[in-house]
Amino acid sequence: MNTDTLLKWCELDLSILKSNLEAIRSILHKHTKIMAVLKDDAYSHGDFIIAQELINAGIDWFAVSTIDEAIRLRTHQIDCPILILSYTVPARFHELVQYDLTQTVFSFEYGICLENYLMTVKQTINIHLMIDTGMHREGILYDETEQNLDKIIRLYQSDALHVSGIYTHFSVADSRSIDDIEYTKKQHTLFQTLLKQLKQQGFITGITHAQNTPAVLQYPEFQYDYVRIGTLLFGMPYGEISKLPIAKIISPFYFLKAKVFQVKELPKDKFISYGNHYATTSPSTIALVSLGYGDGYSRMFTEHNPQVIIHDQEAAVIGEICMDQLIVDVSNISNVSAGDIVTLITPDERHPHTTLDYLSSCTNCLKHELLTDIGPRVQHIYLNSTKEKD
């Protein structure tokens, strides 16, 4: 796509997405499949474009956070099953039917509420039961006392609710401490016990899934029918799992770019940007770049020597980062002018101060957390694809 009309954009190389997918498949059991998690616009990579690429590569299940995310995929001709991981308000139950969506049921009461609605309108939908084996967030509690087994069975017996799947979520699968390993194994054992109880009583459980990215990497023996993979698809392992071998063969593919819109010369001892916190120490050439914290480039970067790339050379961000622009010292880079392209985020390790690893460490956040802060003013451009994000 021609960028002549753009001030700021991100470029995404979908050939790397496909390579990441194949690397993940290489560590899965033969019969384990991937449910691709596309929460928050596929972690700001563009949900329906990513979904279509993954369908072309053989993915047949998606998970999202909200009903709006699910409907967005449906309205862009994504016809695969879509699991909504979070709460859908009762006033929108009709849209679950309308768009053929699979709703997570995380409590007995919520399941009965949904069942009552479906009986009134004489409809059925697919649901997955979320079982709380120890994270103690959402989910139907299940422990060594077989707590709530009767309620889980009651939901399987519903005529209006078709339980097409059941899952749990591990709370500390990314940790290698002895206590956390034992805790994760305990969660897994509880889930296995529940599945055994259901099968002994003659129920078809539907598809089973328990592992997210950390669990897939740390506990390959815990694989069920599907694994839920999000951040790893986008090359963003975090914490201790970023040290594992697979982290060396996957890669992020998000490049954040913007344009210079003004260049000016300043003498020594001139303040720059809000607060007068930065002053030139010698005659300087500065470039104003058309991207700021309103686009997700955090003000917190200011204190950590952020760098950008202009003419394939690194340049320091100076002064306070503003909402709509930032300022760069280009004194040592020749011939910078308005319209030049600046790269602010790149997976290129030759420029370590522009990587997600470095920038996320500046704000003490996760790499995907940083990307999901990037706002809608940043347009997406896809390489190796025929489609573009709206």
CB 294 within 8 A of CB 303: no
> Quick one: which H or E segment has residue 64?
strand 61-64
Calpha distance 36→54 (Å, rounded): 8
User: What are the tokens at 98?
Assistant: 């309308």
> Quick one: which H or E segment has residue 119?
helix 108-121
Calpha distance 366→54 (Å, rounded): 24
Which residues make beta-bridge pairs with 209?
Answer: 167, 226
> Annotated catalytic residue: which of 8, 39, 151, 389?
39
CA neighbor of 291 nearest in space, from 264, 330, 326: 326
User: What are the tokens at 28?
Assistant: 């899965």
- Residue 144 gets the label, from left (phi > 0), alpha (psi -120 to 50) or beta, of alpha
Residue 213 DSSP class: H
User: What are the tokens at 96?
Assistant: 């679950």
Q: Is 219 a catalytic residue?
A: no
> Annotated catalytic residue: which of 243, 268, 270, 274?
274
CB 56 within 8 A of CB 74: no
Q: Is 39 a catalytic residue?
A: yes
Give long-range contacts, CB 8 A cutoff, 24+ apart: 310-314. Answer: 310/260, 310/336, 310/340, 310/341, 310/342, 310/343, 311/335, 311/336, 311/340, 314/351, 314/353, 314/354
Whole-angstrom CA distances from 237 to 65, 102, 248, 389 are 20, 27, 10, 25
The catalytic residue positions are: 39, 274
